[in-house]
Amino acid sequence: MRELHPINFVALIGRAFLAFLATAGRLVLFATEGVSHIFRPPFYWRLIWRQMVDIGYYSLPVVGMTGLFAGMVLALQSYTGFARFSAEGAVATVVVLSMTRELGPVLAGLMVAGRIGASMAAELGTMRVTEQIDALTTLSTNPFKYLVAPRLLAAVTMMPLLVLVADIIGVFGGYVVSVYKLDFNAPNYLKRTWEFLEFQDVFSGLVKASVFGFLVTLMGCYQGYNSARGAQGVGAATTNAVVSSSILILIFNYIITELFFSK
């Protein structure tokens, strides 16, 4: 270990920063290339369809469960919390706003990062390691068009639908706990749910969902595509894909919220 001279420390920061910039640049190039192939023929409808089914349909149980319990715990927590200052009446509004604006998209995004991001990184990583991606090129098929573009398109379109389902199930979970456990009046609760809900609450959540879907797929594909050799390389790619997309989801969640709601 070298002596920790102040200038070495500065060099360390500089090196890390340059590495960060280089990665960010590569990522942007990767994303641009991937997105551009969504709009350029030929289109691989079968692959797009398969990815849509995988992302949209097969994520339903996971996302549905997440939404259900998130909604249920929201009702319980806000009830016990708000009871301290006699604001129990706000439970319905809190549940619906939290679900549509925040928890629906973020939790679904994180679950999909674990499910889809990891599997994409592992699949593309294995294809890289076993030279299948090189084989695509030699068969006059662009790997971005064949592998990346269908995944991006499928995630961006399917995630909002998934989140819409999560929203509905989450609100339902809150309703069940409120009405059957906390003895709320059912029609009253439903009325309260609709009363303060605005289009923008749901819409912002769906925009988030789309962006998160893009981020998860981008990181999954990027890490897999650039996977290092061997089983270890694929393992590292998978981990990096999940971790980086989860962090990006939380960062972009703040940014989008800021854009929609800050006044």
| Residue 83 DSSP symbol | G
Taking CB under 8 A as the rule, does residue 86 contact other proteins? no
Considering the complex, state which of residue 131 and residue 195 has its C-beta at the smaller distance from other proteins: 131
Q: What are phi and psi of 56, to 5 degrees?
A: -80, -50
Site for other proteins (CB under 8 A): which residue of 77, 93, 119, 132? 132
CA dihedral angle for residue 31, residue 37, residue 39, residue 42, rounded to 10 degrees = -170
Lookup result for tokens 């909604």 = 71
| Cα(236)–Cα(221) distance, integer angstroms | 13
- What x-and-dash track marks residues 34-63 binding other proteins by CB under 8 A? --------x-x-------------------
Site for other proteins (CB under 8 A): which residue of 2, 6, 139, 262? 139
Considering the complex, state which of residue 42 and residue 89 has its C-beta at the smaller distance from other proteins: 42
| Cα(128)–Cα(175) distance, integer angstroms | 48
Site for other proteins (CB under 8 A): which residue of 43, 146, 203, 260? 146
Taking CB under 8 A as the rule, does residue 32 contact other proteins? no
Rounded least distance, CB 33 to other proteins, Å:
9
| Sole window of 85-93, 97-105, 139-147, 248-256 interacting with other proteins (rule: CB under 8 A) | 139-147
* Nearest alpha-carbon partner for 104 in 54, 164, 154: 164
Residue 263 tokens read as: 């006044």
Rounded least distance, CB 34 to other proteins, Å:
13
SS3 42: coil
| Cα(253)–Cα(233) distance, integer angstroms | 30
Considering the complex, state which of residue 140 and residue 262 has its C-beta at the smaller distance from other proteins: 140
| Sole window of 20-28, 57-65, 141-149, 153-161 interacting with other proteins (rule: CB under 8 A) | 141-149
Q: What is the rounded radius of gyration, in angstroms, for the C-alpha atoms of the chain?
A: 22
Considering the complex, state which of residue 132 and residue 257 has its C-beta at the smaller distance from other proteins: 132
Rounded least distance, CB 129 to other proteins, Å:
9
Considering the complex, state which of residue 10 and residue 29 has its C-beta at the smaller distance from other proteins: 29
CB 162 within 8 A of CB 56: yes
Rounded least distance, CB 141 to other proteins, Å:
5
| Cα(162)–Cα(90) distance, integer angstroms | 26
Residue 56 tokens read as: 């949209």
| Cα(56)–Cα(65) distance, integer angstroms | 15
| Binders in 226-245 for other proteins, by CB under 8 A | none
Considering the complex, state which of residue 45 and residue 85 has its C-beta at the smaller distance from other proteins: 45
Interface residues with other proteins (CB under 8 A) are 42, 44, 127, 130-132, 134-135, 137-142, 146
